[in-house]
Amino acid sequence: MGEEDGGWDGREYLPQGTVGCVALDQYGALCVATSTGGLTNKLPGRIGDTPTLGAGFWAEEWTESVGSPLRLRSPASSLFAMLPLGVRHVVEDCYVGLSQDTAFGEDKNSSRGVRAVAMSGTGNGDSFLRTAAVRTAAAIARFSPCRSLSSAVTQIAGPGGELQQSAGDRWGKTGEGEGGIIGIELVDGKGKIVFDFNCGGMFRTWVDDEGEEHVMVYKGKY
Q: Find the catalytic residue in 18, 34, 131, 154.
A: 18
Q: Is 123 annotated as a binding residue?
A: yes
The reply to whether 175 and 196 lie within a common domain is yes
Q: Is residue 56 part of a domain?
A: yes
Residues 92, 104: Cα–Cα separation, whole Å: 10
- Residues 115-159 have pLDDT tens digits of 999 999 999 989 999 999 999 999 999 999 889 999 999 999 999
Quick one: 181 and 73 in the same domain? no
Q: Give the residues across from 58 on adjacent strands.
A: 119
Cα 48 to Cα 34, 57, 144, 158, distances in angstroms:
12, 12, 28, 21
Asked if 131 is an active-site residue, the reply is no
| pLDDT at residue 112, as a whole number | 77
What's the number of domains the chain is made of? 2
* Structural domain span for residue 156: 46-61+113-222
Q: Which is more confident, 100 or 21?
A: 21
In a domain, 90, yes or no: yes
Residue 16 maps to a domain: no
Q: How far apart are CA 198 and CA 91, in angstroms?
A: 43
- 10 Å CB burial of residue 84 (0-12, 13-18, 19+) is exposed
pTM recorded for the entire structure: 0.74
122 is in an annotated binding site: yes
Q: Is 158 annotated as a binding residue?
A: no
Residues 177 and 105 placed together within one structural domain of the fold: no
- Looking at residue 222, its pLDDT comes to 66
Is 191 marked as binding a ligand?
no
